């Protein structure tokens, strides 16, 4: 057993933590969210410079050959700062799907540009009726000469509006919920027939409804094996879920710290409210929630690489269940212990609670993963 991060990993974490602490305060973040595009090109360029856009990818594709633990470290720091830049959609979800499914040529072309900060990705997987089921795909890709024609509606595509390229799941065969018959495509968002309706999300990010009407793509747009994308899709999503868990842990740590600070400083009845045992015990439970979440987030970041799909699914789902529950508990308690200040949008606490709640609604909530956990025995 070795729970120690390497020197490089600690350096990566420290430099990112320092950057976010200095440049990404509450007011700076607020201004970024209020901007037209909803995230900062400047911050993104900094991320490229620091090398965090490449930690997940091989050196052959311009990356830094990091492990899933590196991604976890980065995501925890992004969570601590509730960073709204499209790291998750571009590097973690979009990037890993290309990394897992793409051909050598596709990886060369796309990933190196991602690493340099020149290209943004989004994964268009969900649909209006699919909830959290990756196999529920009604968007179609029909053969058209050498290429394909896409039709359909993709829902709540994270950072879909700012993305240059979209990783799209589409049905090339089979019925709406069949495991077989799903394929992945890499589509230029600028293609004719792609209509994007962008909007804010309640946690300060952006997402979009994306409709495809007769969007023509070449044969080289197919990512991986035709009709057989579900296993890869699930693997990529599991990697993304493990990253979300790590992000949640960072958010929990920061939110707990803010709450403890408030308990120590806020005075009522002539004493700090943290002197009331009713609140002390709840503060302790928040801490335990965070530690339990950290444990499973760690485990998931390792087991997500497992070659045994059942072991991978069980561990990742376990982590998502834990952080879903703990994130809800910590978010609600933090607001409550802040009293009226907790429901004010001018305090960071509520924004952490929002992000934690939306992480639960991304790539499967507690109930979805409970079912998955039980069936992956």
Partner 1 sequence: MDLNYTKEEQAFRDEVRKFVHENLPKDIADKVLHHKRLVKDDWVRWQKILHKKGWVAPNWPKEYGGCAWTPIQQNIFEEECGYAGAPRVMPFGLVMVAPVIQHFGSKWQKEYYLPRILSSEDWWAQGYSEPGSGSDLASLKTKAVRQGDHYIVDGQKTWTTLGQYADMIFCLVRTDSTVKKQEGISFLLIDMKSPGITVRPIITLDEEHEVNEVFFDNVKVPAENLVGEEGKGWTYAKFLLGHERTGIARVGESKRELEQLKAIASKELRNGKPLIEDPRFRDRITAVEVELMALEITLLRVLSSRTKPGPEASILKIKGTDVQQALTELTMEAVGPYALPFRPEARAGDWHGESVGPEYAASAAAVYFNYRKTSIYGGSNEIQRNIISQMVLGL
- Site residues (vs ligand FAD, CB under 6 A): 266, 268-269, 273, 276, 278-279, 336-337, 339-340, 343
Q: Tell me which of ligand FAD, partner 1, none is bound by residue 375, counting a contact when its beta carbon lies within the kind-specific cut-off of 5 to 8 angstroms.
A: none
The option from ligand FAD, partner 1, none interacting with 346 (CB < 5 to 8 A, set by class) reads partner 1
Nearest residue to ligand FAD, scored by beta-carbon proximity: 339
The binder of 267, among ligand FAD, partner 1, none, by C-beta within 5 to 8 A per type, is partner 1
What the block records as the tokens of 80 is 């601590």
In the bound state with partner 1, the residue whose beta carbon lies nearer, of 40 and 362, is: 362
Residue number, 202 or 219, with CB nearest to partner 1 = 202
- Structure tokens of 57? 């990818």
CB 71 within 8 A of CB 244: no
The reply to whether 181 sits near partner 1 by the rule CB under 8 A is: no
For residues 332 to 351, the per-residue mask of contacts with partner 1, x marking binding by CB under 8 A and - elsewhere, is x--xx--xx-xxxxx---x-
Please give the structure tokens belonging to residue 84: 């709204």
Considering the rule CB under 8 A, would residue 264 count as an interface residue with partner 1?
no
Is residue 247 within the footprint of partner 1 (CB under 8 A)?
A: no
Q: Find the binding residues for partner 1 in span 159-178 (CB under 8 A).
A: 176-177
Binding to partner 1, residues 125-144 (CB under 8 A) = 126, 128-129, 131-133, 136
Applying CB under 8 A, which part among 17-25, 35-43, 228-236, 355-363 lies near partner 1?
355-363
Q: What is the DSSP string of 142-183?
A: EEETTEEEEEEEEEEEETTTT-SEEEEEEESSS-TT-STTEE
Residue 354 binds: one of partner 1, ligand FAD, none (C-beta under 5 to 8 A by kind)? partner 1
Cα 32 to its chain centre, rounded Å, is: 19
Q: How many CB atoms lie within 10 A of CB 25?
A: 12
Q: For partner 1, how many residues bind (rule: CB under 8 A)?
A: 51
CB of 354 to ligand FAD, least distance (A): 16
Cβ proximity to ligand FAD, 45 vs 287, nearer residue: 287
Q: Is-contact 114 105, C-beta < 8 A?
A: no
d(CA 192, CA 54) in angstroms, rounded, equals 31
Residue (155 or 287) nearer to partner 1, CB: 155
Residue 90: partners with Cβ closer than 8 Å, 6 or more residues away: 53, 114, 119, 120, 121, 122, 159, 163
Measured CA to CA, the distance from residue 281 to residue 275 in angstroms comes to: 11
Q: How crowded is residue 311: how many other Cβ atoms within 10 Å of its Cβ? A: 13
- How far is 118 from 228, CA to CA, in rounded Å? 30
Q: How far is the CB of 283 from ligand FAD (least distance, A)?
A: 11
Q: What letter does residue 37 receive in the DSSP assignment?
A: S
In whole angstroms, the minimum distance from the beta carbon of 335 to partner 1 comes to 5
């Amino acid at each position: 057993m070795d729970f120690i991060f390497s020197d490089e990993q600690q350096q990566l974490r420290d430099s990112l933590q320092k950057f976010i602490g200095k440049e990404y305060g509450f007011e700076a973040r607020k201004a970024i969210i209020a901007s037209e595009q909803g995230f900062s090109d400047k911050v993104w360029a900094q991320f490229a410079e620091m090398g965090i856009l490449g930690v997940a990818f091989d050196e052959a594709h311009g990356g830094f050959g990091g492990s899933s633990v590196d991604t976890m470290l980065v995501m925890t720091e992004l969570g601590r700062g509730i960073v709204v830049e499209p790291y998750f959609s571009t590097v973690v979800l979009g990037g890993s799907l290309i990394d897992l499914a793409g051909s050598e040529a596709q990886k060369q072309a796309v990933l190196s540009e991602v690493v340099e900060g020149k290209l943004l990705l989004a994964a268009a997987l969900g649909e209006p009726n699919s909830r959290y089921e990756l196999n529920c795909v009604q968007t179609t890709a029909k053969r058209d000469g050498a290429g394909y024609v896409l039709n359909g509606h993709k829902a709540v595509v994270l950072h879909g509006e700012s993305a240059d390229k979209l990783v799209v799941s589409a049905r090339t065969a089979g019925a709406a919920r069949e495991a077989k018959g799903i394929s992945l495509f890499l589509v230029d968002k600028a293609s004719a027939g792609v209509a994007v309706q962008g909007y804010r999300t309640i946690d300060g990010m952006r997402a979009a409804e994306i409709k495809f009407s007769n969007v023509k793509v070449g044969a080289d747009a197919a990512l991986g094996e035709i009709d057989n994308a579900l296993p890869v899709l699930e693997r990529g999503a599991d990697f993304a879920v493990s990253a979300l868990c790590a992000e949640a842990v960072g958010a929990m740590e920061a939110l707990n710290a803010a709450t403890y600070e408030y308990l120590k400083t806020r005075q009522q009845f002539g004493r700090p409210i943290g002197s009331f045992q009713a609140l002390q015990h709840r503060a302790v439970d928040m801490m335990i929630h965070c530690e339990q979440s950290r444990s499973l987030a760690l485990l998931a970041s390792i087991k997500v690489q497992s070659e045994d799909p059942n072991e991978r699914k069980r561990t990742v789902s376990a982590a998502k269940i834990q952080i879903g529950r703990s994130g809800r508990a910590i978010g609600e308690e933090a607001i409550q212990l802040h009293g009226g200040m907790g429901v004010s949008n001018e305090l960071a606490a509520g924004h952490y609670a929002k992000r934690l709640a939306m992480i639960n609604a991304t790539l499967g909530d507690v109930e979805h993963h409970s079912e998955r956990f039980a069936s992956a025995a």
